[in-house]
Amino acid sequence: MNQNNVLYVDLERKSFYVKNRSDLFNEWLGGVGVALQLYKEEAVKGSAPLSSGNVIVFAVGPLTALYPLASKVVAVFKSPLTGNYGESHAGGRSATAIRSAGYGAILIKGVSDRPIYLVISEKGVQFKDAATLWGMRSTFTAGRVLREASPGTGVRTIMRIGRAGEKLVRYACVVSETYRHFGRMGLGAVFGSKKLKALVIHGKSSMRMPKIKAYRDVYDEIYDLAVKSGSMKKYHELGTPMNILPINALGALPTRNLLEARFEGAENISGEDLAAKKLGRRVACSHCPVACIHLATIREPYPDEPYFYKTTFVSYDYELLYSLGSMLGISDINGLLKLMDEVEIGGLDAISTGVALAWATEAYKKGLIKLNDLVVDLDWGKADAYREAVKLIVDQPNEFYKALAMGVDHSSKIYGGRDFALSFGGNEMPGYHTGPASHIGYLIGSRHSHLDAAGYSIDQKMKGLSPEEMVDKLIEEEQWRQILSSLVICYFARGIYEPSIVKKALDVLGYEFDEERLKELGRCIYREKQALKASEGFRPSELRIPERIFEVPSFRGLIDKNYMKAALDHYSKIFNKIVATE
Amino acid sequence: MKRLVIMDAERCVGCQLCMFACSRRLGFAGLDKSALHVKSVGGFERGFTVVVCRACIDPPCLRACPVDALRARDGGGVILDLSKCIGCRFCERACDIGAVFWDDSMNKPVICVHCGYCVGYCNFRVLGVEGMISR
Ligand code: SF4
Ligand code: SF4
């Protein structure tokens, strides 16, 4: 279980080698810290995201498989959606599998001449033909075939793309273990461009722990916090959908392409309602005692056969209920679940898909798009029509859907409706219209996501911050999250992995990281990311703020343009300073 | 003697904390020293199979061992004597429920000793310990 080993895979030459990179892991811990460096070493500078020069790096951290909740894998790549730095995290069994197969990171480069999938273990890489899997309609079916065909049951991850990835939808995702995703920023399309259908990674190696008593003690402390402390309760019980009603009550739940920020159907799509009526099973990522993954069941009769039903499981989270629910005005829960299922079948990022469809609906209603282009008559609340549209995004039968498959920023450049194209830095908007901090966060966050710095939390908790103070707060949070992401700790456990606990967990392994050194490393990784983004062409001055966010009151009231401008100016200064010194 | 039992496998969320606990019991982090195994029943949505030793009173694994490395445990199941084991994998094949696991790094079986350590880390009450009348 040597976490310092990096597996280098070349898809073009169908070759691989393993190299000990303790130099990187000692300096950058693991996860995003290491992945970023590997990306910088191997990606061909300036190459297009879907060209052979792009690389994909997966990395886990020193705590993976050792402690609970160090359960994520960080993927770093160039995003085909934003055209710049791409980063995405997923759980499932991927983190344990990579570490137990004996690797700290896996780097994939080149393009295969034909569809393939890889089986990765301690022994190395097998390159398998994926001609039969390519083009399969459903990610579920592909997963099923791979499960049957591959070794390592119980100790493996199966990451795969759907047809959206094959057809290079710029926000296609990579699915792992059916219900977890490298969702954002289009990793699925990068897989597709490399003709890489899937990765099966399996292994079960272990490692003798040095200070076993200390290890067990720290383990128990973390475990107890995870199962007993209130901080995990919401994820444990209702899961992230418990946020639907509170966010809606704040007037911060984007509804119908953010024409409103309160959804009259919120009750129907709330975590409470779903748990009462639809929750069928809960599952967990490997080494997570919380089990936040909630699966709803839909039971449907077959129209052509009496007493014949099918039962489908659909995983639901806050982000999906927002993007495919309130954002599209859908409160019919069965319709919504079936829509989510279709997004899963095709292998799309749910947030980007929902935001793209919301923009398309409004643009259509405003006469910017013709029904002929749209093919289906989209209207708020009509889940069936949206389901057809999801298939069309995957299929791209005409110019309009080809454009929509590139994201709303791109589509609105062609068809108009820029003011209500809810994209930030090229990435579609997450589900929080809480106030200025959430939106500044989307704009300045390294991956233009609510996950970078959780601005929604600042909006809710802190009043009276100047624009400069707010930006500083966001950056400080993002910098600490670089440590969490280098240790690949699930963000839901950020309340558990406080600096003091992180230090203890690392101490057992012989790392000498005091809290200040950890924080300095976080700042350093943050600076590295900004510098990388600059070198790939990112300029804060080019950030576009969709007019729509100023038109609809947020939880913090109408957002002030001058405030936003001052915040971005402050960020620009910080960014430029970093770029000048790095 | 106590015995590890499955209370309700339907409650299993597949977190594998029990498996990690079992390896940790021996001072290891990871999965290959684990004497129980959790795998999905063909996809996460179908739930999980939890394979644990049933502490047979007349254990087939014991009968299969050609070198008497396994002896009957008080209360059912077996105790492994590593020094006798030749790594032939007969016991692994003999167990009908697949509860004899294999430690590849040592080339020896891993068999549950019914200590109950894993139970303390199952947050979903899948596992339990049952007292058994000594035979
Ligand atoms: S009872 Fe003890 S030996 Fe058996 S599976 Fe649990 S921890 Fe392992
Ligand atoms: S700890 Fe419990 S819930 Fe988790 S895998 Fe083991 S038996 Fe299942």
CATH number, domain of A274, equals 1.10.569.10
Is A279 within a domain?
A: yes
Q: Is B111 in the pocket of ligand 1 (CB under 6 A)?
A: no
Going from the Cα of A315 to the center of ligand 2, the distance in angstroms, rounded, reads 20
Which of the listed residues B4, B10, B15 should we mutate to test ligand 2's pocket, taking the one with most ligand atoms within 8 A of CB? Answer: B15
Annotate A467-524 with three-state secondary structure: HHHHHHHHHHHHHHHHHHHHCCCCHHHCCCCCHHHHHHHHHHCCCCCCHHHHHHHHHH
User: In chain A, which stretches have pLDDT less than 50?
Assistant: none
Residue A163 shares a structural domain with residue A49 = yes
Looking at the structure of chain A, the number of domains it has is 3
CB A109 within 8 A of CB A42: yes
User: Is residue A68 a part of any domain in this protein?
Assistant: yes
Report yes or no on A427 lying in a domain. no
Is residue A424 situated within a structural domain? no
Q: Are residues A192 and A292 in the same domain?
A: no
pLDDT tops 70 at residue B133:
no
Is the pLDDT at B135 greater than 50, yes or no? Answer: no
Contact check, Cβ <8 Å, B24/A313: no
Q: Does B7 touch chain A (CB under 8 A)?
A: no
ipTM: 0.94
Can you give the CATH number for the domain in which A155 is found?
3.60.9.10
Question: Closest Cα to residue A121, out of A202, A20, A3, A14?
Answer: A202
Confidence of residue B132 (pLDDT cuts 50, 70, 90): low
Nearest CA to ligand 1 atom 8: B22
Same domain, A373 and A487: no
Question: For all residues of chain A together, what is the average pLDDT?
Answer: 96
Residues A105 and A136 in one domain: yes
Please check whether residues A348 and A483 belong to one and the same domain.
no
Task: Name the residue among A204, A227, A291 with its Cβ closest to that of B32.
Answer: A204
Kindly give the distance from the C-alpha atom of residue A124 to the centroid of ligand 2, in angstroms, as a whole number. 30
Q: How many whole angstroms from B34 Cα to the centroid of ligand 1?
A: 8
Whether residues A284 and B13 touch (CB distance < 8 A) is answered with: yes
Q: Is B50 in the pocket of ligand 2 (CB under 6 A)?
A: yes
Is residue B49 within 8 A of residue B9, CB to CB? The reply is yes
Q: Measure the CA–CA gap between B128 and B114, rounded to whole angstroms.
A: 10
- Under a CB-based contact definition with an 8 Å cutoff, are residues A491 and A481 in contact? yes
| Same domain (yes/no): A368, A450 | no
State how far the alpha carbon of A369 is from the alpha carbons of A374, A380, A390, A397, in Å: 7, 16, 17, 15
Is B117 close to ligand 1, i.e. is its CB under 6 Å away? Answer: yes
Q: Is the CB of B44 less than 8 angstroms away from the CB of A179?
A: yes
Q: Is residue A288 part of a domain?
A: yes
Last residue of a domain, one of A358, A387, A417: A417
Chain A residues within 8 A of B35 when measuring between CB atoms: none
Judge if A34 and A168 occupy the same domain. yes
Instruction: Select from A66, A225, A283 the residue whose CB has the most chain B CBs within 10 Å, as the one to mutate to test that interface.
Output: A283
Average pLDDT over residues B51-78: 96
Q: Which residue's alpha carbon is nearest to atom 4 within ligand 2?
A: B15
> Is-contact A377 A170, C-beta < 8 A?
no
Mutational pocket test of ligand 1: of B115, B121, B130, B132, the residue with most ligand atoms within 8 Å of the beta carbon = B115
Identify the H or E element spanning A570.
helix A561-581
Instruction: Identify whether residues A279 and A363 lie together within a single domain.
Output: yes
Question: The domain B56-109 is classified under which CATH number: 3.30.70.20, 3.40.50.970, 3.40.50.170, 3.40.309.10?
Answer: 3.30.70.20
Q: From residue A289, how far is each of A234, A240, A484, A524, B22 by CA, in Å?
A: 13, 16, 18, 32, 15
Residue type, B21: A
Interface membership of B33 toward A (CB under 8 Å): yes
Residue B134: pLDDT band (50, 70, 90) is: very low
Judge if A405 and A521 occupy the same domain.
no
The answer to the question of residue A438 being in a domain is yes
Cβ neighbours, 10 Å, residue A464: 5
Whether residues A446 and A391 share a domain: the answer is no
Nearest to B44 by CA among A291, A402, A99: A291
Examine the fold and report which residue of A180, A202, A224 is the final residue of a domain before the chain moves on.
A202
Domain with CATH 3.30.70.20 in chain B: 56-109
Does CATH place domain B1-53+112-127 in 3.30.160?
no
Does residue A413 sit in the same domain as residue A453? no
Percent pLDDT > 90 in chain B is 84
What's the pLDDT at B45?
83
Q: Any chain A CB within 8 A of the CB of B20? A: yes
Domain boundary among A417, A448, A469: A417
Determine the distance separating the centroid of ligand 1 and the alpha carbon of A237, expressed in angstroms: 28
Interface membership of A227 toward B (CB under 8 Å): yes
Say yes or no: A289 contacts chain B, CB-CB below 8 A: yes
Distance from CA of B91 to the nearest CA of A (A): 20
Q: Which domain holds residue A114?
A: 5-202
Q: Report the alpha-carbon distance of residue A218 to residue A386 in Å, rounded.
A: 49
CB contact under 8 A, B28 and A206: yes
CA distances from A440 to A437, A449, A463, A532 (A): 5, 10, 15, 20
